[in-house]
Amino acid sequence: MSAQGETRTATVELRNIAGTQAALGWAGGHTLVVDRPDGVAGGLGLGFNGAQMLALSLGGCFCNDLRYTAEQMGVELGAVAVSVTLTLEGEPLLARAANMQVDCRLVDGSDASAVIEAAKATCMVSNSLRKGFPVTISETVRG
């Protein structure tokens, strides 16, 4: 977790997968496949679509923040189960709402509500989505 006011960047790369219309994305040594459902706009269903990626980003960030928060509080979490549902609508299709259900307890079986509440305050993805941020899209100029 970063100190307040510190600026960081995170960069991912994506490239098409030869012989498909899917993309391989990576950051460091971690990879994933992004695609459309089978039969939709050339998709083969080889990987996650954009809505699934957004939901995974939200839920994955919260899972990490639960662990960071528990460590800072000096407690240990047992199993963590997170389910994220996005509501999508409109043309163009937009995410209009997200609902995250969190089920976890401390390793001793006691209630983890304090950890969940504290993680809500620090979750970068959920806080960023709630507040909004500018997104720029530009074309690479080839020489």
Give the domain ranges of the chain. 1-48, 49-133
Q: What pLDDT does residue 5 have?
A: 79
- Average pLDDT across each block of 10 residues of the chain; the chain has 143 residues. List them in order: 78 96 96 95 95 97 98 97 97 96 96 97 96 94 86
Q: What pLDDT does residue 2 have?
A: 52
Q: 100 has which bridge partners?
A: 84
Q: What pLDDT does residue 142 have?
A: 87
Q: CA 15 to CA 34: how far, in whole Å?
A: 10
Rounded (to 5) percent helix, strand, coil in the chain: 30, 30, 40
Residues 6+ positions from 109 with CB-CB distance below 8 Å? 78
49-133 CATH choice from 3.30.300.20, 3.40.50.1000, 1.10.150.170, 3.30.930.10: 3.30.300.20
Q: State the Cα angle at 94 between 122 and 59, rounded to 5°.
A: 30
Q: What pLDDT does residue 3 have?
A: 61
Nearest one of 83, 78, 84, 82 to 111, comparing CA atoms: 78
